[in-house]
Amino acid sequence: MKTYEVDKIEQDEIKLVGFSITESLNHVLESRIVGVLREDLAKRTDEIENANESGIYLLQIYNQDGQWTHDTPYQHVIALKVSSHGEIPADMITYTLPAGQFMKIVHAGAESEIGSTYEYINNTFGVRPIDIEYWKDIHSLENADSQIDIYIPSK
């Protein structure tokens, strides 16, 4: 059984600019839309004012009723961190992730194997309003030595 290191961290507010969609997990997996959007975002970083790092965030914002299934639509935000919200391209959105305490879990290995990490998170931490993934380098996500940082709100 795989073991996970969990760190409790204090996170400052994060301002983001990127794309937002509302889709179910099954639709996202079938259509691969999140991958398409993150590739598009990576190609368009020069269009985003005040971008201050090359990594990309994925926020998965769930319905608050806790009645989630693989077919339940929820919001996905695929975005770059910015120092401030300036002019944004017409097809993009802004989002501000409030400051707070989070648990950081690192998924080590290929992105296609991230399901086992989420199984651990779901079994350990239960229902939560949001999951945040940080992809430092989207071009190495399927490498065996890839790492994806996952942040969940601390209770």
Mean pLDDT, to the nearest integer, of 101-123?
95
Q: How far apart are CA 97 and CA 24, in angstroms?
A: 21
- pLDDT at residue 67 in the model: 77
Q: How far apart are CA 109 and CA 144, in angstroms?
A: 5
The pLDDT of residue 52 is above 90: no
- Asked if residues 22 and 76 have their Cβ atoms less than 8 Å apart, the reply is yes
- pLDDT at residue 54 in the model: 83
- Asked if residues 76 and 58 have their Cβ atoms less than 8 Å apart, the reply is yes
Q: Which domains are assigned to the chain? A: 6-153 (3.20.80.10)
Mean pLDDT, to the nearest integer, of 15-29?
96
- pLDDT at residue 66 in the model: 67
Of 131, 35, 55, 37, nearest to 91 by C-alpha is 37
Mean pLDDT, to the nearest integer, of 106-113?
95
Q: What angle do CA 80, 133, 63 make, to 5 degrees?
A: 100
- Phi and psi angles of residue 108, each rounded to the nearest 5 degrees, phi first: -105, 125
| More confident call, 1 vs 53 | 53
Mean pLDDT, to the nearest integer, of 83-92?
94
- pLDDT at residue 140 in the model: 94
| More confident call, 15 vs 65 | 15
- pLDDT at residue 1 in the model: 65
- pLDDT at residue 64 in the model: 72
